[in-house]
């Protein structure tokens, strides 16, 4: 095992960094538990000092009261900064917690000069088990506090008691470091296993939700998400659904080959994604974010047919501008022997009473049919045929 591996509990630095979010969460949870225990202990000691029981007297009550105040203030800080615990500065609170606990145990030890210390021995083991950072940092911290503890012991206690403290801390510090490495190595193993499981879940989510060729949503996931949008209240926003079909796609396959046909589909998918401004850098979470964040999203229905749900626009004019930009980008494609991609668009606007995705799809399909019938490579909006007798061309 290398020195670097030992420092990160048997793993490399990159693995340790990947687990940092889990490390900070664990430290925060244990810091909260230890601080609640610390508050309880000080309350108990203040009460015992007040009544002069268990060898505690009122002369020491002020010290315990001060540490009780510190512990309460620290608990308030923990609660106030709960949402910030995954940020780098969270380790500062961990180090501060260790400082308070170690200082407290040293003060308690000094306050009982004719007794061998017990609180420090308990806390050095508790800290070693509770917190995870790196083996080097934890060893240096515990060693430093132990040296200070022994120094104060020899300065304030009889020599025989001080030597007993020295003997005890050698035993307990070595035990604490062994337990620290053993427990934190097991914790790191749990973190790595959890990270691997999360990665597998993410890969499964991507495979089950996205089309492999275009990275757009597949048909099933698109209709599921679009249906959820329509079933939710949407009176306060403008929504449109657009069907997009590549024109003369069979000719691309026949003249340029199926590989070029696949490339045309892939380019069309990328153009749709870029035009809509869809962020797929974290694809595994997109399906969870898209609906509550009111994002536009797109899917591939199969072959050369695509579908988009447009949100965040002010009305028809903005949708037309967006789709025209998409169409212009497709027409301007130059890739080897592929000179431009033509496409027909069929659009339907979603009203406040629209709840049925199948009905909305049929309207967009009717508009797409009219776009094809009227000459292709254009955008058509669906209008109520009972009122107009036709679809509306852009």
Give which of 369, 374, 372 is closest to 382, Cα–Cα.
369
Reported as a single tens digit per residue, the pLDDT across 333-342 is 988 888 889 9
Q: Which residue has the tokens 């595994």?
A: 284
16-55 pLDDT, tens per residue?
Answer: 998 988 998 899 899 999 999 999 988 888 888 877 776 6
Selected residue with higher pLDDT from 326 and 77:
326
Higher-scoring residue by pLDDT: 85, 94: 94
Determine which of 81-85, 307-311, 319-323 has the lowest per-residue pLDDT on average.
81-85
Q: What is the three-class DSSP state of 87?
A: coil
The answer to whether 135 touches 8, Cβ cutoff 8 Å, is: yes
Please, what's the largest Cα pairwise distance for the chain?
105
What tens digit of pLDDT does each residue of 226-245 get? 999 999 988 889 999 999 99
Whole-model pTM: value is: 0.71
Instruction: Please return the burial class of 155, using the count of CB atoms within 10 Å of its CB with bins 0-12, 13-18 and 19+.
Output: exposed
Please state the rounded mean pLDDT for residues 82-103. Answer: 81
Dig out the tokens for 8 from the structure: 């990160």
| Spatial contact of 105 and 119, defined as CB atoms under 8 Å apart | yes
**Number of residues assigned to the chain:** 394
Is the pLDDT assigned to residue 394 strictly greater than 70? no
Return the percentage of the chain with pLDDT > 90, whole number. 58
What is the torsional sign of CA 215, 218, 224, 226?
A: positive
Rounded to 10 degrees, what is the CA torsion of 153, 154, 159, 161?
A: 10
Asked if residue 219 has pLDDT above 60, the reply is yes
Banded model confidence at residue 114, pLDDT cuts 50, 70, 90: confident
Residue 151: what pLDDT?
96
Rounded mean pLDDT, 301-307? 93
d(C-alpha 251, C-alpha 261), whole Å = 9
Q: Give how far the C-alpha of residue 169 lies from the chain's centroid of Cα atoms, to the nearest Å.
A: 41
Confidence of residue 391 (pLDDT cuts 50, 70, 90): very low
pLDDT of residue 389: 46
Find the angle CA(311)-CA(317)-CA(322) to the nearest 5 degrees: 60
| Per-residue pLDDT band at 87 (split at 50, 70, 90) | low
Once rounded to an integer, what is the mean pLDDT over residues 288-296?
91
- Residue 82 pLDDT > 80: no
> What residues form DSSP beta bridges with 210?
217
Closest CA to 312 of 331, 329, 328, 290: 290
What's the whole-number average pLDDT of the chain?
A: 89
Set out the domains of the chain in order of their start, with CATH numbers. Answer: 3-205 (no CATH), 219-393 (3.30.70.270)
Q: How far is CA 369 from the centre of its chain?
A: 43
- Could you give the count of Cα atoms lying within 13 Å of 86 in the half-sphere of its Cβ? 7
Cα(240)–Cα(233) distance, integer angstroms = 15
Q: Rounded to the nearest 5°, which phi and psi values hold at 193?
A: -60, -45
């Amino acid at each position: 095992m290398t020195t670097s591996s030992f420092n990160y509990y048997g793993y490399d630095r990159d693995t340790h960094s990947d687990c940092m979010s889990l490390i900070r969460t664990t430290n925060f949870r244990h810091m909260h538990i230890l601080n609640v225990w610390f508050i309880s202990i000080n309350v108990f000691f203040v009460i015992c000092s007040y009544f002069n029981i268990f060898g505690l007297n009122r002369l020491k009550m002020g010290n315990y009261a001060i540490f009780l105040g510190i512990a309460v203030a620290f608990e308030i800080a923990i609660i106030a900064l709960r949402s910030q615990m995954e940020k780098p500065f969270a380790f500062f609170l961990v180090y501060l917690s260790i400082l308070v606990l170690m200082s407290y145990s040293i003060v308690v030890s000094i306050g009982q000069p004719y007794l061998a210390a017990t609180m420090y021995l308990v806390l050095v083991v508790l800290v070693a088990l509770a917190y995870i950072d790196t083996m080097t940092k934890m060893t240096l911290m515990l060693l430093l506090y132990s040296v200070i503890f022994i120094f104060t012991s020899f300065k304030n206690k009889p020599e025989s008691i001080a030597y007993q403290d020295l003997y005890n801390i050698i035993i307990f510090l070595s035990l604490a470091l062994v337990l620290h490495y053993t427990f934190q190595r097991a914790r790191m193993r749990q973190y790595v296993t959890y990270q691997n499981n999360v990665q597998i879940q993410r890969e499964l989510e991507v495979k089950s939700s996205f089309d492999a060729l275009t990275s757009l949503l597949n048909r099933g996931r698109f209709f599921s998400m679009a249906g959820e949008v329509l079933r939710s209240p949407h009176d306060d926003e403008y929504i449109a659904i657009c069907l997009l079909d590549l024109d003369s796609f069979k000719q691309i396959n026949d003249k340029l080959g199926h590989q070029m046909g696949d490339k045309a589909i892939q380019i069309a998918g990328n153009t749709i994604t870029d035009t809509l401004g869809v962020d797929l850098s974290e694809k595994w979470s997109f399906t969870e974010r898209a609906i509550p964040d009111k994002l536009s999203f797109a899917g591939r229905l199969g072959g050369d047919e695509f579908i988009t749900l447009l949100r965040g626009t002010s009305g028809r004019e903005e949708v037309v501008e967006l789709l025209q930009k998409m169409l212009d980008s497709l027409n301007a494609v130059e890739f080897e022997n592929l000179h431009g991609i033509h496409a027909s668009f069929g659009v339907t606007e979603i009203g406040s009473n629209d709840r049925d995705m199948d009905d909305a799809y049929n309207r967009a399909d009717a508009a797409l049919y009219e776009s094809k019938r009227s000459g292709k490579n254009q955008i058509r909006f669906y209008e109520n045929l009972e009122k107009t007798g036709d679809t509306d061309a852009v």
